[in-house]
Structure 1
């Protein structure tokens, strides 16, 4: 987690094949309006920033910046993008094009690429839930060109699912459908949204898309393994868990003390595959 003045900044990787609509999606989210024409192909990484206000405005902080890293999908850059873009992030959005079946099938390759780089561990060749065991990063699936496909043409062309019960994922898996969760979304245990990047109504207030997107934004803050808690938040959480009031006194910060200090656990994950997986409420339940 970085900071911009007094406001925290969280990084979200936006990954997917070239020309699936990543840049258009990010622009719509950040500027509340779609692009008027298709953007040029992203080379390297395109960055957009959104100021997000948390749903519970009494949370501290109630504002944070979300920095979207729209990573170019060119196959030629596969060997170099890991060390350039995968070291520091707080969440991942995987984007596919509903009119291109390979773009959906390739999403697991994109996630596998990140996991292998971050963990530096030998993983099974087949992408299964085992590969996600120590990868506690919030995820969201975004499927573009919804109006064009209506999420039916690709589904009708797909084969019967294989090994859904044991969460295997292959090119024969069912593709995304608006009326039911896709195999990949079930495997990753994440939400998915269906959009038309050139339609503003996709992100109108009180729509399922907005609710799922906001839920993802909340997760990247509250579940980020490098997110700190204030002393007051720790006291309140302990009061909640114990059912007892804890006496405390609010005082000014001592001269020379830092206002905010965070522990960066990325090295522990990279070297040991370990992440912090519990929030304050879960921690205090065990006391």
Structure 2
């Protein structure tokens, strides 16, 4: 069996917005039965078919690092950001304050990761309150495109679809997606 190459995506946002539930939904395609508060970080994985259905299709492992959002742990969170290739920003649609803090979360990840870049330089894709990620649904397609973009930046640089020739991994470049989420 060939080794599956990996990308790292950190999932951040205020405490209690549903990050753990979202990660469980992404990785297991079902609602989280009993979400709990995350202390530190929890790691889950999803196998993703990059450029699915195209000649360049290849399987990758997406590590989703669910980082606890408690302000009490703010000074220690940076240890989880190192080497991140993508960021999922999560907020609670019923609490506007959690949406207003997303810029600060992105800045924290970029600053602590040392990857540089300004939060305004990101093209944020928005997923609307996902209850499911059924194949072919709008949210599933957006999420797949996001993972493809993270993999492209990590392993292929700025090449176009016709130029998907493997190259050495690079630590440059981040990709972000914003997700509004409310557990039902």
Verify same fold: TM over 0.5. yes
Distance change (3 Å), C-alpha of 1:221 and 1:50: same
The higher relative CO (CA closer than 8 Å, separation ≥ 6) is in: 2
1:82-117, CA deviations, whole angstroms, 9 ceiling, x for partnerless residues? 1x1121111100000011111111111101112222
Tell me if the contact between 2:85 and 2:171 (Cα under 8 Å) persists in the aligned partners.
no
Distance change (3 Å), C-alpha of 1:203 and 1:264: closer
Give distance in 1, aligned partners of 2:26 and 2:12.
Answer: 15
Counterpart of 2:151 in structure 1 is 221
Give distance in 2, aligned partners of 1:131 and 1:11.
Answer: 19
Structure number with higher strand proportion: 2
- Structure 2 unmatched ranges of 5 or more: 175-184
Question: Normalised by the size of structure 2, how large is the TM-score?
Answer: 0.80
Give distance in 2, aligned partners of 1:47 and 1:108.
Answer: 23
Q: How many residues of Structure 1 are paired with residues of Structure 2 in the alignment?
A: 170
2:41 maps to 1:45: yes
- Structure 1 unmatched ranges of 5 or more: 122-129, 136-187, 239-259, 267-274, 277-287
Alignment map for 1:50-69 (pairs within 5 Å) = 50-54=46-50, 55-59=52-56, 62-69=58-65
- Among 101, 107, 110, which residue is 2:102 paired with? 107
User: SS at the partner of 2:76?
Assistant: helix
1:21-49, CA deviations, whole angstroms, 9 ceiling, x for partnerless residues? 00001101111111223x11000001111
Tell me if the contact between 2:15 and 2:68 (Cα under 8 Å) persists in the aligned partners.
yes
Question: Normalised by the size of structure 1, how large is the TM-score?
Answer: 0.53
- Among 170, 186, 190, which residue is 2:124 paired with? 190
Counterpart of 1:95 in structure 2 is 90
Distance change (3 Å), C-alpha of 1:210 and 1:264: closer
User: SS at the partner of 2:5?
Assistant: strand
